[in-house]
C-alpha cells in the first residue's frame, strides 16, 4: 500500500475521503444555505429532498469528518516526528508556525470557519506528546473523551451555552450583508470579526478539546504503524471498525428515534454529541484502511482515485473555499442562499470530481501540491524541488 515515494496510499486516500466529507458539510455555510431559515429553504429548487438529506448528513457526516481529519493530522504529526528523530520537536514547531500562517490567511481572506488555525494551536500543545508510546497516547485520548462527555453533561451548570453563542450569532447576522452584496474588502473586514467570534464559539463548544482528543488517538495509531500494510494489526482494525461504526451509528440512530433508546434525553444528547463523532471517525478510518490493504481491482481503483486528493489535502481544503466564495458571494456570482441542500450535494460532487482530476494532473507534473510545497519550504528553510522529473 506504500507508493514509491514512501507515502502510504491508503492513508492518502483516507485524507481524500475526509476532504469530501468535510466539504459536504462546509458547503452549507459556503453557499449561504445556513444563513437563512426554513421559509427561505422551502422556496429553493428540489427543497423537498432537503429534510431527508439533512438528516443523513447529520447522522453520517456532521462533525464526523472534521474528527476524521483531526485523527489524520495527529497520525501525520507522529509519523513526521518519528522520521525527524532528535529534531522532532523543532520540526514540529516550525510546521505548526507555518500551518498557523496558512490558516489565518485562509480565515481572513476567504472563510472564517477555517479549522487550520485551531489545528496549529492544538498542534503546539501536542509537541511534548510526540515522544510518547502508543499506550499512553491512547489512554490519554480516552481520558479526554471521558472528560469531554462529563463537561457536556454538566454544561448548563458550568455556563456552556447551548448551540451557537450569542456573540457569534450577532457577528454572523451583521456579516451577512457583506457576504450577500458587499465588496471583497468588506468581506475581508467581516471575516476578521467572524474569525474572532468563531474562535469564541468553538471554545464554548469545547472544539479544542475535541480536536486534541483526536490528535492523541491519531498519534497513538501512528506509533504502532496502524495504516502500514505490514503492521499486522488486523485485530485492532477490526475491533476499531466494529466499536466505532456500531457505537457511533447506534447513538446517532437512537438520537433520531430510528431505534429505541432506554435512557433520558439529556444523557442521550450528550453521548451523541460527545461520542458519536469520534467513534464514527475511528470506524470510518479502520474500515477503509482495512479495505485498502487489498489488491482487488475496485479497491485499487478507488484508492488510487482518492490518494492524489489526499496528498494535496491542504491545497484541496483551501481550494474549496477559493472556488466557492467567488461563486456564492455578492462580489462574484451572487448565488448566496440560492441552492437547496440537494443542489448543493450535486455541486459538491462536481467540484470534488474536478479536484480528483486536478490533483492527479498536478501530481503528474509536480512533486507536491502548491500549498504543501510552500509549507515545506517554510519548514526546511530552503526551496524544495517542485517539478516531478519522473513525469518527463
The structural domains of the chain, with segments of one domain joined by +, span 9-160+206-391
Q: For the segment 211-262, what is each residue's pLDDT rounded down to a tens digit?
A: 999 999 999 999 999 988 777 788 999 999 999 999 999 999 998 877 776 7
For residue 169, pLDDT beyond 90? no
d(CA 290, CA 313): 21
Residue 263 has what pLDDT?
Answer: 75
Mean pLDDT rounded to a whole number for the chain: 92
For residue 204, pLDDT beyond 90? no
State the burial class of residue 295 (Cβ atoms within 10 Å of its Cβ: 0-12, 13-18, 19+).
exposed
Buried b (16+ CB within 10 A) or exposed e, 184-218: eebbeebbebbbebbbebbebbbbebbbbbbbbbb
What would the mean pLDDT of 185-205 be, rounded to a whole number?
94
| Selection from 325, 331, 337 nearest residue 45 by Cα | 337
| DSSP, residue by residue, 192-246 | HHHHHHHHHHHHHTTHHHHHHHHHHHHHHHHHTTTTSTTS--HHHHHHHHHHHHH
Contacts of 21 (CB under 8 A, 6+ apart): 61, 64, 65, 68
Please give the biggest Cα pair distance in the chain: 64
For residue 180, pLDDT beyond 70? yes
Q: For the segment 69-112, what is each residue's pLDDT rounded down to a tens digit?
A: 999 999 999 999 988 887 888 999 999 999 999 999 999 999 99
Q: For the segment 288-345, what is each residue's pLDDT rounded down to a tens digit?
A: 999 988 889 999 999 999 999 999 999 999 999 999 999 999 999 999 999 999 999 9
State the burial class of residue 274 (Cβ atoms within 10 Å of its Cβ: 0-12, 13-18, 19+).
buried
Residue predicted with more confidence, 391 or 383? 383
Residue 391 has what pLDDT?
Answer: 52
Please give the helix or strand (H or E) that residue 388 lies within, else none: none
Residue 4 has what pLDDT?
Answer: 42
Residue 142 has what pLDDT?
Answer: 97
Question: 22 near 355, Cβ under 8 Å?
Answer: no
Residue 3 has what pLDDT?
Answer: 46
What would the mean pLDDT of 348-377 be, rounded to a whole number?
97
Q: What percent of the chain has pLDDT over 70?
A: 96
Residue 390 has what pLDDT?
Answer: 63
What would the mean pLDDT of 37-52 be, rounded to a whole number?
94
Residue 295 has what pLDDT?
Answer: 85
Residue 163 has what pLDDT?
Answer: 60
What would the mean pLDDT of 34-58 be, rounded to a whole number?
93
Q: What percent of the chain has pLDDT over 90?
A: 81
Question: 114 near 106, Cβ under 8 Å?
Answer: yes
Which region, left, alpha or beta, applies to residue 257 given φ > 0 means left and ψ of -120 to 50 means alpha? left
Global pTM reads: 0.94
Amino acid at each position: 500500500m506504500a507508493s514509491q515515494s514512501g507515502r502510504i496510499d491508503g492513508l492518502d486516500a483516507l485524507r481524500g475521503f475526509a476532504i469530501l466529507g468535510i466539504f459536504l458539510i462546509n458547503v452549507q455555510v459556503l453557499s449561504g444555505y445556513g444563513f437563512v431559515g426554513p421559509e427561505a429553504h422551502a422556496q429553493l429548487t428540489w427543497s423537498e429532498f432537503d429534510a431527508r438529506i439533512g438528516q443523513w448528513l447529520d447522522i453520517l457526516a456532521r462533525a464526523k469528518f472534521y474528527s476524521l481529519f483531526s485523527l489524520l493530522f495527529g497520525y501525520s504529526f507522529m509519523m513526521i516526528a518519528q522520521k525527524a528523530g532528535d529534531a522532532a520537536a523543532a520540526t514540529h514547531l516550525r510546521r505548526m508556525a507555518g500551518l498557523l500562517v496558512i490558516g489565518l490567511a485562509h480565515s481572513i481572506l476567504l472563510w472564517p470557519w477555517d479549522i487550520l488555525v485551531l489545528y496549529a494551536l492544538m498542534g503546539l500543545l501536542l509537541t511534548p506528546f510526540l515522544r510518547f508510546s502508543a499506550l499512553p497516547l491512547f489512554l490519554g485520548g480516552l481520558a479526554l473523551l471521558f472528560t469531554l462527555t462529563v463537561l457536556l453533561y454538566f454544561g448548563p451548570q458550568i455556563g456552556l451555552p447551548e448551540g451557537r453563542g450569542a456573540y457569534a450569532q450577532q457577528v454572523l447576522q451583521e456579516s451577512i450583508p457583506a457576504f450577500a452584496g458587499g465588496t471583497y474588502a468588506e468581506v475581508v473586514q467581516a471575516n476578521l470579526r467572524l474569525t474572532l467570534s468563531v474562535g469564541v464559539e468553538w471554545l464554548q463548544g469545547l472544539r479544542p478539546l475535541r480536536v486534541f482528543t483526536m490528535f492523541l488517538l491519531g498519534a497513538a495509531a501512528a506509533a504502532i504503524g496502524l495504516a502500514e500494510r505490514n503492521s499486522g494489526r488486523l485485530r485492532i482494525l477490526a475491533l476499531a471498525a466494529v466499536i466505532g461504526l456500531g457505537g457511533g451509528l447506534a447513538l446517532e440512530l437512537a438520537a433520531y428515534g430510528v431505534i429505541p433508546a432506554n435512557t433520558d434525553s439529556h444523557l442521550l444528547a450528550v453521548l451523541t454529541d460527545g461520542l458519536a463523532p469520534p467513534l464514527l471517525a475511528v470506524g470510518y478510518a479502520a474500515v477503509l484502511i482495512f479495505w485498502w490493504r487489498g489488491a482487488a481491482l475496485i479497491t485499487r481503483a478507488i484508492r488510487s482515485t482518492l490518494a492524489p486528493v489526499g496528498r494535496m489535502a491542504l491545497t484541496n481544503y483551501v481550494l474549496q473555499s477559493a472556488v466557492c466564495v467567488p461563486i456564492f458571494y455578492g462580489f462574484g456570482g451572487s448565488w448566496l442562499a440560492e441552492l437547496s441542500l440537494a443542489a448543493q450535494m450535486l455541486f459538491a460532487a462536481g467540484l470534488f470530481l474536478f479536484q480528483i482530476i486536478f490533483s492527479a494532473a498536478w501530481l503528474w507534473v509536480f512533486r507536491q501540491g502548491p500549498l504543501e510545497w510552500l509549507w515545506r519550504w517554510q519548514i526546511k528553510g530552503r526551496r524544495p524541488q517542485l517539478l516531478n522529473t519522473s513525469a518527463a
